[in-house]
């Protein structure tokens, strides 16, 4: 299947599921109150399982650290840009948290890795690099910095200080999963065999529920009211996430000794729409979940055009 067709079809599937859940909410099958349950299940159960499984199976190759570093550096620049734009716009704290989450962090594992697999499925090195970029270059900052941003700007911090919010993160299941999965991989502990196979089978079953729960959360949180009021916010996020992000990450990569496929992997991962997990963090930690869901949905729709353009322009 052509990579551009696969890109469009993957995003259309997610869009249709989200719209279906939004319709079922309007018909009474779901209610916005279900979002609290979905967010708790994601941050306390399915996301930690996904993180632990992915990191414990990851081959942490040193040769891929340059590409991972480029991704992280671009995200830090994007974070500073998003923070500056939110300050200029005078957004409230809950809106600022949702704005930064949507503008900075992309859907690398849910969409990016799947697209890389479609394009480079026979290239083992490309798949290894994509895995490391997804889990460490994008996923790790999202699971750590993203959670801290949501705690800081949300209304559900452990106490009034940002330091207490950060400490709360280091006690969370997400951080425990990051530490445990990384330690498992670095120590070279087995992931197959009679002793550990039942454990990883159980973890994988829980992890596979993450995508469904995230789409359910976005769907029950998504509303189409007051769209004019957030038009400026949505436009800023679209520019930052879908245009500035691939430019900040892929353009400097042209001046580094990278293979053509390495550059293409970077472009794909950096051009993805906003991470749907940002809605889970917004809901869990008290940011503006309604705004977060609208911004994620807007970038999902916008990326159907921009991903193809960026891949042709920068790849």
Per-residue pLDDT band at 159 (split at 50, 70, 90): very low
Per-residue pLDDT for 194 more than 60?
yes
- The CA distance from 283 to 1, in Å, is 36
Tell me what the pLDDT averaged over the chain comes to. Answer: 83
pLDDT at residue number 160: 42
Question: Cβ contacts of residue 214 below 8 Å, gap of 6+?
Answer: 38, 42, 110, 276, 277, 279, 280
CA nearest 151: which of 14, 56, 284, 29?
A: 284
pLDDT at residue number 169: 64
Per-residue pLDDT for 167 more than 70?
no
Per-residue pLDDT for 85 more than 60?
yes
List the CATH number of the domain containing 163: 1.20.1530.20
Burial of 16 (0-12, 13-18, 19+ CB in 10 A): exposed
Per-residue pLDDT for 63 more than 80?
no
pLDDT at residue number 77: 93
Per-residue pLDDT for 152 more than 70?
yes
Q: How many domains does the chain have?
A: 1
Question: Cβ contacts of residue 64 below 8 Å, gap of 6+?
Answer: 128, 129, 132, 133
- Partners of 106 in the beta sheet? 274
pLDDT at residue number 158: 41
> What Cα–Cα distance (Å) separates residue 184 from each residue in 49, 191, 204?
14, 9, 16
Say which range, 15-19, 120-124, 135-139, 203-207, has the weakest mean pLDDT. Answer: 120-124
- The CA distance from 238 to 290, in Å, is 17
Say which range, 36-40, 59-63, 200-204, 263-267, has the weakest mean pLDDT. Answer: 59-63
Q: Which residue has the tokens 């734009």?
A: 85
Q: Which domain holds residue 203?
A: 3-314
Q: What is the pTM of this model?
A: 0.78
Sign of the CA dihedral 172, 173, 177, 183? positive
């Amino acid at each position: 299947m052509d990579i551009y067709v696969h890109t469009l079809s993957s995003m259309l599937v997610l869009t249709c599921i989200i719209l279906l859940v939004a319709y079922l909410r309007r018909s009474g099958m779901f209610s916005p109150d279900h979002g609290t349950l979905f967010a708790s299940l994601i941050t306390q159960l399915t996301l930690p399982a996904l993180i632990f499984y992915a990191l414990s199976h990851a081959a942490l190759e040193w040769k891929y650290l340059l590409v991972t570093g480029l991704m992280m550096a671009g995200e830090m620049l994007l974070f500073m840009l998003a923070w500056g734009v939110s300050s200029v716009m005078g957004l409230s704290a809950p809106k600022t948290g949702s704005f930064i989450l949507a503008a900075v962090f992309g859907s690398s594992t849910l969409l990016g890795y799947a697209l890389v697999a479609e394009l480079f499925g026979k290239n083992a090195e490309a798949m290894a690099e994509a895995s490391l970029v997804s889990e460490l270059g994008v996923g790790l900052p999202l699971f750590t910095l993203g959670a801290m941003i949501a705690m800081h700007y949300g209304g559900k911090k452990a106490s009034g200080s940002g330091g207490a919010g950060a400490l709360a993160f280091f006690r969370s299941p997400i951080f425990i999963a990051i530490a445990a999965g990384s330690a498992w991989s670095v120590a070279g502990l087995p992931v197959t065999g009679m002793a550990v196979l039942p454990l990883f089978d159980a973890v994988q079953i829980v992890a596979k529920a993450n995508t469904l729960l995230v789409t359910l959360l976005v769907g029950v949180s998504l509303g189409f009211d007051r769209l004019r009021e957030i038009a400026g916010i949505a436009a800023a996020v679209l520019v930052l996430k879908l245009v500035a992000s691939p430019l900040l990450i892929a353009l400097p990569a042209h001046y580094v000794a990278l293979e053509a496929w390495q550059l293409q992997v970077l472009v794909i991962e950096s051009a993805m729409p906003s991470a749907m997990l940002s809605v889970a963090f917004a809901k869990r930690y008290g940011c503006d979940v309604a705004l977060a869901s609208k911004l994620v949905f807007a970038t999902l729709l916008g990326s159907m055009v921009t991903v193809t353009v960026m891949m042709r322009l920068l790849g």
